[in-house]
Amino acid sequence: MKKWVIAILTVVLVIILGVAIGFFIGNQEVEESPESLDDKVLAQQNQHELEVVNELSIATSGQDEKTTPSTKWLLKTTYNDCGHTIEEKQDIPTMYVNLTKEELKEKLEKEWDIEEFSKDQVVLSRYQHGICKEHYVLREKDGYIAIYTLNQYDQEEFLEMTEISVQYLPELDVENLKKGIQVTGKKELNETIEDYE
Ligand SMILES: [Zn+2]
């Protein structure tokens, strides 16, 4: 063979070899990269799980448990004169967020006792003089049944009129309505009114 033919063949061979090697390496990289990505994601997940586990162990460690913005806030007031306990669910006031039980105790007004304390729920209770707001009186007014509430001093305050006329009620009911019929709670109030309808 002539020298130039050998030279061209060599060049062609080198080019083919180069392309083949390049292709092989490129392929390897493509195949490798998803694996290394997976590894990274896996490592990150493990790290995340580790952090979650750490948070959990901190949260359940007890003493240092603190209130959060999502802590349920339940207020219980017991009224001395009627003995009823009124429960009130509220959003936790921001000034009481991120406090331990001891810190909360210091910040609260003296009337409140901490009945329950966890990061999920805080229950506060107190006693008050007088009667609760759940006391109603039904009374005849201008020929109709009217609803009054009893305030904390046991005095009647007009709340609203019903559309129930006393005109066709039995005599005994009319007598009772003149004296005033006391009921406790909205449920009993509604049931009593329905009886007259
Ligand atoms: Zn009451």
CA pair distance 162, 182, nearest whole angstrom: 16
64 φ/ψ angles, rounded to the nearest 5 degrees:
-90, 10
Q: If you measure from the C-alpha of residue 13 to the centroid of ligand 1, how many angstroms do you get, rounded to a whole number?
A: 101
User: Which residue's structure tokens are 């210091």?
Assistant: 106
Residues with CB under 5 A from ligand 1 (ion): 82, 84, 131-132
For residue 91, give every residue at least 6 positions away whose Cβ sits within 8 Å of its Cβ, in sequence order, or none: 73
Q: If you measure from the C-alpha of residue 103 to the centroid of ligand 1, how many angstroms do you get, rounded to a whole number?
A: 32
Q: What is the pTM of this model?
A: 0.59
Q: If you measure from the C-alpha of residue 163 to the centroid of ligand 1, how many angstroms do you get, rounded to a whole number?
A: 26
Which pLDDT value is given to residue 134?
95
Which pLDDT value is given to residue 161?
97
CA distances from 192 to 43, 98, 103, 138, 168 (A): 67, 46, 47, 9, 16
Q: If you measure from the C-alpha of residue 133 to the centroid of ligand 1, how many angstroms do you get, rounded to a whole number?
A: 6
Which pLDDT value is given to residue 55?
54
Which candidate, 129, 128, 131, places its Cα nearest to that of 75? 128
Contact 197, 164 (CB under 8 A): yes
Q: If you measure from the C-alpha of residue 66 to the centroid of ligand 1, how many angstroms do you get, rounded to a whole number?
A: 34
In this structure, are strands 121-128 and 72-79 parallel, antiparallel, or unpaired? Answer: parallel
Q: If you measure from the C-alpha of residue 77 to the centroid of ligand 1, how many angstroms do you get, rounded to a whole number?
A: 10
Tens-digit pLDDT profile for the chain (197 aa)?
A: 667 666 656 665 565 556 555 566 555 554 444 455 566 555 666 565 555 555 554 455 456 899 999 999 999 999 999 999 999 999 999 999 999 999 999 999 999 999 999 999 999 999 999 999 999 999 999 999 999 999 988 899 999 999 999 999 999 999 999 999 999 999 999 999 999 98
Q: If you measure from the C-alpha of residue 138 to the centroid of ligand 1, how many angstroms do you get, rounded to a whole number?
A: 16
